[in-house]
Homo-oligomer: A and B are copies of this chain.
């Protein structure tokens, strides 16, 4: 009974592409209206597929958020890893400050995504711990520096968690201050605190 004039849209696409389109549609809607008010129907409509198709790729809205969280972590981790790697192998303070600098820059770049996936929704567990890939990377850095005698820390994981959360807090605070913060001042101060945290007391 469907009219012959129905446009013969290609009824199929590579799964990865479909999935990506759905994620992108969801992301934009989350940004525009928030996570909770966004309905599956809006997502599929934006992605130009039928409602049922959503469930071919995801099992729920939470599932999409999971995917976005992975994306966030991955992107930020790459930025930080790259920045740290540019430093000389034995320039441990340099590596640490590069970590801070890249972290700040990355957070600012990914702020919208970050807010959607960590503020508006709730992963599952406890909170700061959940940016785990970042913390693990920082942990490895701190441990390596300690092993090399660059600084003295009692418990690398403890320090990593502390440092990461402190960094996270001040960066959030800076973002929250509406007007474009003085980012270089933020980095300066953060660098100082990073160094202090590992027992390197400049000045």
Contact = CB atoms under 8 A, between A and B. Distances in A.
Interface of A: 1, 14, 115, 119-120, 122, 125-129, 152, 154-155, 158-159, 161-170, 172-173, 175-176, 186, 189-190, 192-193, 196-199, 201, 203
16 contacts: A115-B126, A119-B126, A122-B122, A125-B176, A126-B175, A129-B169, A129-B176, A161-B170, A162-B167, A162-B169, A164-B169, A166-B166, A196-B196, A196-B201, A199-B201, A201-B201
Nearest to A176: B126
Nearest to A168: B165
B119 A162 contact: no
Contacts of A201: 196, 199, 201
Contacts of A119: 122, 126-127
A142 to B, nearest CB: 12
Contact of A127 (B158, B162, B172, B190): B172
Nearest to A157: B173
